[in-house]
Chain A
Amino acid sequence: GENVEQHPSTLSVQEGDSAVIKCTYSDSASNYFPWYKQELGKGPQLIIDIRSNVGEKKDQRIAVTLNKTAKHFSLHITETQPEDSAVYFCAASSKGYQKVTFGTGTKLQVIP
Chain B
Amino acid sequence: GAVVSQHPSRVICKSGTSVKIECRSLDFQATTMFWYRQFPKQSLMLMATSNEGSKATYEQGVEKDKFLINHASLTLSTLTVTSAHPEDSSFYICSAPPGTSGTDTQYFGPGTRLTVL
Which A residues fall within an 8 A CB radius of B?
32, 34, 36, 41-46, 49, 89, 93-105
Contact between B49 and A41 (Cβ–Cβ < 8 Å)? no
Quick check: B108 and A43 within 8 Å, CB to CB? Answer: yes
Q: Is the CB of A102 within 8 A of B44?
A: yes
- Total cross-chain contacts (CB, 8 A): 57
B87-117, CB < 8 A from A: 91, 93, 95, 97, 102, 104-111, 113
Chain B residue, CB-CB nearest to A44: B108
Q: Which residue of B lies closest to A9 (CB)?
A: B41
In residues 55-73 of chain B, which contact A (Cβ within 8 Å)? none
Q: Are B111 and A41 within 8 A (Cβ)?
A: yes
**B32, B34, B44, B109: residue with the most chain A Cβ atoms closer than 10 Å:** B44
- Nearest CB to that of A42 among chain B residues? B110
The verdict on B54 contacting chain A, using a C-beta distance below 8 Å, is: no
